[in-house]
Amino acid sequence: MLQTLPAPHAPKLLSWYDRHHRELPWRVSPAAAKAGKRADPYHVWLSEVMLQQTTVQAVKSYFAKFLTLWPKVTDLAAAPVEDVMAAWAGLGYYARARNLKKCAEAVAAKHGGVFPDTEEGLRALPGIGGYTSAAIAAIAFNRQSAVMDGNVERVISRLHAIDAPLPGSKPLMKAKVAELTPSDRPGDFAQAMMDLGATICTPKRPTCALCPFRDDCLAFAEHDPESFPVKAAKKEKPVRFGAAFVAVTPEGEALLKRRIESGLLGGMTEVPTTAWTSRVDGGTTADHAPFPAGWEACGTVTHVFTHFELRLSVFRALTEKVAVDDGWWEPVTNLETQALPTVMKKAIAQAIPRAFEKHPN
């Protein structure tokens, strides 16, 4: 039987956050905010989009790169889409990059380069959903918005011992977050909940002794925090098969193509592959090569997408230049600058092991 505990209060968490917040490049610290510094909506938006399905550590270098290349949202709006995709390459979930560019263009063209300051206005922008609009509204504009990412889900589910499984329990969790979110410092509160989940209320072996909500937490009182949040059983990911063809000239140029704008890896650069998708297999033999050549098998690479696993048989050929629809020949020494997703880098590296080593100028 669950115990009755005091309701958690935001001031406890904010006091903890003032002392123990993470220092992040896109964040305004509590001390700086108290001194009058305000969060830059462009920085908040850029970081939140990058952090979707991606770790803080992985995002830091990309965030710095984007701000160096495009210091303002209007700069990003004016950038060629190919440059944006190339800068994003390796961060994954490439629809985010396409929507990032569209959103920047919308802010520049329809809002004079200024982000809307409400959840409703933000959500009307391309690529901004419920979570991101709430996060920007709270953190950049100090709106009393209920912000709930995976870290916050874990904290709130443990505080209230919510035993209904995700994703069905999300509305209840969101309501509990809304109840807890204060009108004073809602942006700091949102970031405090994220930090608590990332550093204290972790999925495994949470450090409950250090948690500011320890005395208010039903899961802790029942000695069972790791059982929350409850998740529905995961379906096994299907495995798909295909082939990738790495063609290189004697002069050291590799054949590349650009994928169609829509769908998986849309708009990214690739080596020729067979017609695999998340639902169907593609060909796996040299018979499916883009043109006749001395194709040699050089192994298999595996890449895990969100909903399926892909296994590509990789073939390579030394060849003279051949014209291929929507294709071009790129010096191998330039491959690092291309908008190649990780799965394509894996395929190329399987065929050309030193392709992505740093080359002297």
What is the set of active-site residues?
Answer: 48
Number of H helices, E strands in the chain: 14, 6
Residue with tokens 């905010």: 33
Judged on CB neighbours under 10 Å (0-12, 13-18, 19+), 251 is exposed
Asked whether the beta carbons of 101 and 76 are under 8 A apart, the reply is yes
Token pair recorded at residue 118: 């409400």
Cis peptide before 229 (omega within 30 of 0): yes
| Secondary structure (3-state) at 62 | helix
The residue type at 276: W
CA distance 348 to 361: 22
Contacts of residue 255, Cβ cutoff 8 Å, sequence gap at least 6: 245, 246, 247, 248, 271, 272, 290, 322, 324, 327, 328, 329, 330
| 135 SS3 class | helix
Q: What CA–CA distance (Å, rounded) separates 270 from 305?
A: 16
